[in-house]
Copies of this chain bind each other. A is one copy, B any other.
Amino acid sequence: MEWMLGSIVAPLGFSAYGMASGIKKEGLDLALISSEKPCTYAGVFTRNSLKAAPLEWNIALLEKKSMISAVLVNSGNANACTGQDGRDAVRESAELLAEIKGIDKESVLLASTGVIGVPLPMMPIRESIRTLAENLGRSTECSQLSAKAIMTTDTYQKEAAVSIEIDGCAIKIGGMAKGSGMIHPNMGTMLAFITTDAYIEQQALQKLLKTSVDDTYNMISVDGDTSTNDMVVLLANGCAGNDVIRYGTTQYRQFEKAFNALNLQLAKSIAADGEGATKLIEVEVAGLSKKEDARKMVHAIISSSLVKTAVFGGDANWGRILCAMGYSQAEFDPRNVDLSFVNNNKAVSLMRRGTPVDFDEHVAKSILEENQINIKVDCNSGWASAKGWGCDLGHDYIKINGSYRT
C-alpha cells in the first residue's frame, strides 16, 4: 500500500470541481464528483431521527441499489427540517444535474451541510450547476476546489489517496471529508466521500464501509452519529480493470486494509482540526471483556471537556480520565487499572493496578506539550480493546479549567 497525492480524483474515471454559487455569502459552497462509468455505491448515514432531505434521497437510492454517476454537495445550508420544500429542492437538484449530464436522476447522490431549518436557496444551484459540470476535471486543482467547497468551519481541506496492487492490478482509493467546528461530539456535520476504481460487488462494498466507519469516523470526538446530515459514501466504478472483489476473499482483505488506512487518515485529520484545537489526542483502551465497553470508555474519555482542557493546559490531571471511565457505563474494576501518557519517545505511568503512581510532573508536562499525545488505559480484565481520537479544548474557556489542579 502506498500513499499518494490527490484525493477523490486519484482513482481512474473520477473527476471533480468546486465553486462559489452564492449559497454562502462568500466562499466556495458547491462541489460535484462525477464518474465516467456508473458506480456501485455504499453509504452510512446519521442515526439522528431527523434526517436531512438529501439523506432521505440517498437512503432510498441505496435501498434500490441504484448505480451512481455523480454526487452534488453544497455547504452553507443543511437542507434539514425544511419539510416538502426541502424534498422538492433535492429532486430538482438531481433532475437539473441529470439533464445536463445525460444521466438518470436516480444516479445522483446529494449532500448538504450548514444551517438547519432554512430553505435551501435553489437559485444559486440553478445558475451554477452547468458551469460546475462543464469544469469537471482530474487535476489537483479541481479536487482541491471540491474539497474546499464542502467545508464549513474547517480550517483546511481533508484529502487522502492510496494505491494498492491486487492480483497484479493497480487499484486506487481516494477520499475527501469535512469535519465540524464542534468541540463536543454531538452535532457537527461530518461528510466523507470515498472513490475507488476497483471492481467490487455491492454487498461487499456496503459491509466494508459499515465495518470501517465503526473503527474510524465513529471513533473520533466529532461524533458522526447525531447530526441531521452526517454521511459517508463510497463509490466504486471498476475502471481499474481488476477481477471482481468478493466479500471475505484475500483480495477483499487487501482492499479493506488500504481502505481502513485511508478512512483513519481522514478521521484523524477531522479530529485534529477540531475548533481551536492545538493537539490531537489518541485514546487507547485495552483489557476489557467486551469490545462495546472498550468503545464506550474511549468515547467518554475523548469527549470529556475536562480531559480536553487539562491536555490543552499541559496539566497531568489524570483523575479526570478515571472519572470519565467511571461514568462511561463500561464494566471494569478500578483496582486493575493501568494508565499512562505516551508519545513518540516518552512515556509516563500515572496509575498501576489501581494505585496512583508518584510520577515525574516534568516528564508528564513535556509529553502533554507535544502536538499529539496518547492516553493508554489497560483495565487488565479481558482482551477487548478500542482506539479513538479527539482534540484538546482551547480558547479562554481554558483559563478556568486548564489550571484547575496546579
Chain A residues within 8 Å of B, Cβ to Cβ: 47-50, 78, 80-83, 115-118, 153, 181-184, 186-187, 225-228, 275-276, 303-306, 317-320, 322-327, 334, 351, 354-356, 395-397, 400-401, 404-405
Chain B residue contacts of A49, Cβ below 8 A: 326-327, 334
Contact A356 B82 (CB under 8 A): yes
Task: List the B residue with the shortest CB-CB distance to A306.
Answer: B187
What is the total number of copies of this protein in its complex?
2
Contact B83 A317 (CB under 8 A): no
A-B contacts, 14 listed (Cβ < 8 Å): A48-B327, A50-B326, A80-B319, A80-B322, A81-B322, A83-B355, A115-B405, A116-B322, A118-B319, A182-B306, A186-B324, A226-B323, A276-B397, A396-B397
Contact A81 B334 (CB under 8 A): yes
A78, A186, A276, A323, most chain B CB atoms within 10 A: A323
Select one of B48, B115, B181, B351 contacting A400, CB under 8 A: B181
Contact B183 A397 (CB under 8 A): yes
Chain B residue contacts of A153, Cβ below 8 A: 400, 404
Could you tell me the distance between the alpha carbons of A320 and B186 in the complex, rounded to whole angstroms?
11
Chain B residue contacts of A400, Cβ below 8 A: 153, 181, 275-276
Chain B residue contacts of A48, Cβ below 8 A: 323, 326-327
3 tightest A-B contacts by CB?
A116-B319, A117-B319, A50-B326
Select one of B305, B351, B355 contacting A186, CB under 8 A: B305
Could you tell me the distance between the alpha carbons of A276 and B401 in the complex, rounded to whole angstroms?
12
Chain B residue contacts of A401, Cβ below 8 A: 181, 275
Chain B residue contacts of A351, Cβ below 8 A: 117
Contact A117 B305 (CB under 8 A): no
Chain B residue contacts of A325, Cβ below 8 A: 50
Contact B184 A184 (CB under 8 A): yes
- In whole Å, how far is A396's beta carbon from the nearest beta carbon of chain B? 4
Could you tell me the distance between the alpha carbons of A325 and B117 in the complex, rounded to whole angstroms?
13
Contact A117 B318 (CB under 8 A): yes
- In whole Å, how far is A309's beta carbon from the nearest beta carbon of chain B? 10
Contact A320 B396 (CB under 8 A): no
Chain B residue contacts of A318, Cβ below 8 A: 117
Chain B residue contacts of A319, Cβ below 8 A: 78, 80-81, 115-118
